[in-house]
Amino acid sequence: MTAGPFVVGVAKLRRQPGHRWHEVRHGVVEDLACSGSAVPAGAECAAEVTLEAIGGGVEVTGTVSAAWEGTCRRCLAPASGVLHVPVRELYTPGGDGEDTYPLVDDQVDLQPLVRDAVLLELPQAPLCRTGCQGLCPTCGADRNEGTCGCRAPVDPRWAVLDALRRPDGG
């Protein structure tokens, strides 16, 4: 296993119970996406964490950050933002990634923690801005750019009758 940017050697830390390390790591994590948004390819995630040796394991507390891009669910314009996800996880020998993460060869790999935190918080249905007005269901105009003059949507069956009744409708 090659040491990625998120691998932290903790042999020294584990010999010093009660000591705390502050670590800031950046790196690309592949395939961070959900149905509504994704971390852009090549964009780095960040982990700003404190590590502390606890009961044979290592506790990791801090914040995972990542930029995301997506499509506004109301107006279909590009939407983007930055996630800051609080994390508090335990690495233990024999950890399987369910209750605790694995602590192998005195190394803590923060990458699976970063991946899980980001995937949990990526917006499924993002908005381009707070209070986006969306598109007009009648003419498709972007209502963030002004009113289009359409009246409230009518039942399509009545719309047909309206067209037939128009004096110039032939």
Which residues of the shown chain bind Zn ion in the complex (CB under 5 A)? 72, 74-75, 77, 128, 132, 136, 138-139, 141, 148, 150
CB of 36 to Zn ion, least distance (A): 12
Is the distance from CB of 39 to CB of 32 less than 8 angstroms? yes
- CB nearer Zn ion, residue 40 or residue 137: 137
- CB nearer Zn ion, residue 2 or residue 130: 130
For 143, other C-beta atoms within 10 Å of its C-beta total 16
CB of 132 to Zn ion, least distance (A): 3
- CB nearer Zn ion, residue 76 or residue 160: 76
CB of 77 to Zn ion, least distance (A): 5
* Exposure class string for 88-122: b at 16+ Cβ within 10 A, else e: ebbbbeebeeeebbbbeeebbbbbbbbbbbbeebb
User: For the CA atoms of 24, 28, 30, 31, what is the dihedral angle to 10 degrees?
Assistant: 80
- CB nearer Zn ion, residue 145 or residue 168: 145
**Residue whose pair of structure tokens reads 């669910």 in the numeric block:** 73
CB of 35 to Zn ion, least distance (A): 17
d(CA 134, CA 79): 13
CB of 85 to Zn ion, least distance (A): 24
Is the distance from CB of 90 to CB of 101 less than 8 angstroms? yes
Is the distance from CB of 32 to CB of 61 less than 8 angstroms? no
- CB nearer Zn ion, residue 77 or residue 90: 77
